[in-house]
Structure 1
């Protein structure tokens, strides 16, 4: 655990007692603070009280008179679409509002670091798509290279739940826009921006607010090195803002859309080959085509980002290449769950928006596509650019019929996962891929995308077992 510094002997309010909230309360107490907790869920309050923490309704009048700070869990809005009343009350009382990410960055370093040969490093990864895979891939590469590494944030453990940094160790954080938008301290050694596409727009008041939340990772303190995907205008703009000139190798530009040239530091992938150029000369190259855990251009972008981050820490290209080949991929993200009779079954339940579904569809050949669910804002029109390889769509969800009508593809309304898998498996031919890439949220039928992906995997394996 990382004890929170700076609040010893002071009361600190914590709003939200989920995984990160409860960990925050423990870390505050470990640092000598007196945490005051609240969650609208009685069961969450009961859990906190069972550990000896005080729960006080933070909506009560005058509660912030002697509070030093309010720590807010990621899912609680502080501005858009409307601020939580507790956040408003804290701001009116002049109480600083922060989150566990901000507490981590102010508390991670310790006096023992003066005795280390190599101080601990933090790599933080943000973006719209691919950040989980990129963060996990960086962690995997570091571990395979013999570097002590911990994976935390929006993946793995909560940031305050990890072990203190050791000599030469690395913490890899996946950070969502919900986490970066509010943290009062953001000082990673290496920061990664994968890409940007519309998501969570109601929470951020539009695309500009969404980009601004991501940009804070690079603006609040500033990393020593920034790895920036420049295939969207926002990424290109961010790289331009951070670099002092064409030769500034503190910025590593990433692309899977084109070859990058110039005197700076670039990593790009074309036709399945990753290339690193520095000062106009090639410094490394990797054939990504046979790496099963990283199929498709979107995963090649993840590989470029992870490669660049690890190169920024001094790892050799061949060490990184070896680790890429042993990367198993993440559950629910282009995860191959079975191969039988020449047919490949892939679970990409994490493809919860149109952009991520397009990337999944572009990674395979002839596809039997299982899609549908709770549609996000923005519609489905953009999917048309990736439907050439779709033989047929099998649509699930409560609004499956309406979803199917808007697809510019041969579509079958199945409603349930069981029916979709049954029909797709019956139709699939050797050389084809049965792909779950919903392009929608899961909450109309499932608690989360993991449950949806598990249901798909269970149905596929059950039917394969029956022959």
Structure 2
């Protein structure tokens, strides 16, 4: 019996441990924290080491190691296996190996991943029951465990952390939405980050498809030697495969949808919708079903999500903007009079590209670890400690017709568990202020 080590006992780590047990591996599972499911897992035959990674687990005879994608390769315990050339995978790779009944449409990129994947899943559902996996939905390993062998399409959102640990994973259709600086707190270099995204198509064949965003100079630089059929996409040109002409989106001569029916704001959202629509079409979804989803799609939670209007001031939650490129995309969706709330964990990326929106930003109120980083970016700026203080200040200075936009341009881990928690807390605060206003 071959032995494997699983590092990280989050939901995906537990699921992949059970999946490997099912396929006759001896599984050792370790986590720095206490594992609440330890007794249950040990009764199932999985050896659990929690509260740290003991040296006795440093062996080189593992068939492979499965690592939680959020754990850096530079962590000493993980780096031991890197140095000793033990294969290290993420649970996506393992789940893929045991799911021949699944056909994958894979999405990665710096921004727009969740929007594209969510729309794509809704479109696939029009054809037949399908799955959403990866960074959204239930971990893929868990869905493989629950599978009854029925053929299904899977819309899968993949981070570069997950793509670093794939070996045989092969989607039928894939896309890199865009590339912009991010995760320099995790990756050694920006080039390593960009190159990792290209793993999405490395196992595809001529019978598969990769959508290439020709408007993005970084994609054009790094998307080389593509082994599958390339579909060139542009929002600026109409001499490519996937393009916009007038207010219609086309794949070759096939009209995918009327862009005027889109309810989500911003040019970038139009691009996301075009990518999702083309992927769905290549996966066999009928154009009428694609158009129905486009017409009714109201956006992804936490991505330029309308929350409330208080005294004529519209408030939006864009907590999912964890880098400057994403925050710039959000700012581009508004004309003027934006009171921007931003800040969070320092990922060691420059905020200079946000300077272009100085005229649109009526006032910037920054908070968190990076609160002082925006002083040189915006003319009108103030720093506070917390997001709650930032919202309170924004509501004091806002006038009817203004927009308050939470678009942090930073990850949340300095003050929050994750960006979703940050967004939920923000919305709760807004609703409380709105309710108090209604009672006055």
TM-score by length of 1: 0.84
Output the aligned Cα RMSD.
2.6
Residue 75 (structure 1) aligned to one of 67, 70, 77:
70
Q: Secondary structure at the match of 2:430?
A: helix
> Residue in 1 aligned with 2:28?
36
Unaligned runs of 5+ in 1: 1-8, 111-119, 245-249
Write the mapping of 1:47-196 to structure 2, written as runs, cut at 5 A.
48-49=41-42, 52-55=45-48, 60=55, 64=59, 66-78=61-73, 82=74, 84-89=76-81, 92=84, 95-109=86-100, 120-143=102-125, 145-162=126-143, 163-164=146-147, 169-196=152-179
Question: 2: distance between equivalents of 1:224 and 1:313?
Answer: 10
Q: Deviations over 1:89-112 (max 9, x none)?
A: 4752x54322211112221115xx
Q: In the TM superposition, what whole-angstrom CA distance separates every residue of 1:185-232 from its partner, at most 9, and x where no partner exists?
A: 221111111010011134332122112111111113447111222222
SS in 2 for 1:109: coil
Q: Matched residue of 1:212: which SS? A: helix
Deviation of residue 43 (structure 1)?
Answer: 3.4
Shift of 1:462: 0.7
Alpha-carbon distance in 2 for matches of 1:243, 1:233: 20
Counterpart residue number, 2:391: 421
Structure-2 residue corresponding to 1:226: 210
Quote the Cα distance in structure 2 between the aligned partners of 1:167 and 1:62: 38
Which stretch shifts more, 24-33 or 350-359?
Answer: 24-33
1:387–1:297 Cα change, 3 Å: farther
State the distance in 2 between where 1:435 and 1:14 align: 40
Quote how far apart the aligned CAs of 1:183 are: 1.2
Q: Does the 8 Å contact 2:375/2:382 carry over to 1?
A: no
Whether 1:318 aligns to 2:278 is: no
Superposition deviation, residue 61 in structure 1: 5.2
Deviation at residue 123 of structure 1 after TM alignment: 0.7
Equivalent residue for 2:234, pick from 252, 255, 258: 255
Give CA-to-partner distance per residue, 1:377-408, whole Å, 9 cap, x none: 232211011232222222222553x2342222
Farther off after superposition, 19-28 or 55-64: 55-64
Higher mean C-alpha displacement, 178-187 vs 44-53: 44-53
Say yes or no: does 1:452 pair with 2:433. Answer: no
Residue equivalent to 2:333: 363
Question: Aligned residue for 2:353?
Answer: 382
Distance in 2 (alpha carbons) for counterparts of 1:335 and 1:108: 35
Unaligned runs of 5+ in 2: none
After alignment, is 172-181 or 98-107 more displaced? Answer: 98-107
DSSP 3-state at the match of 1:214: helix
Offset at residue 234 of structure 1 (A): 2.9
Give 3-state SS (helix, strand or coil) of 2:394's partner.
helix
Deviates more, 1:217-226 or 1:325-334: 217-226
Cα displacement (A) at 1:289: 4.5
The number of residue pairs the alignment matches comes to 430
Task: Name the CA distance, whole Å, in 2 between partners of 1:132 and 1:165.
Answer: 27
**Alpha-carbon distance, 1:266 to partner:** 1.8
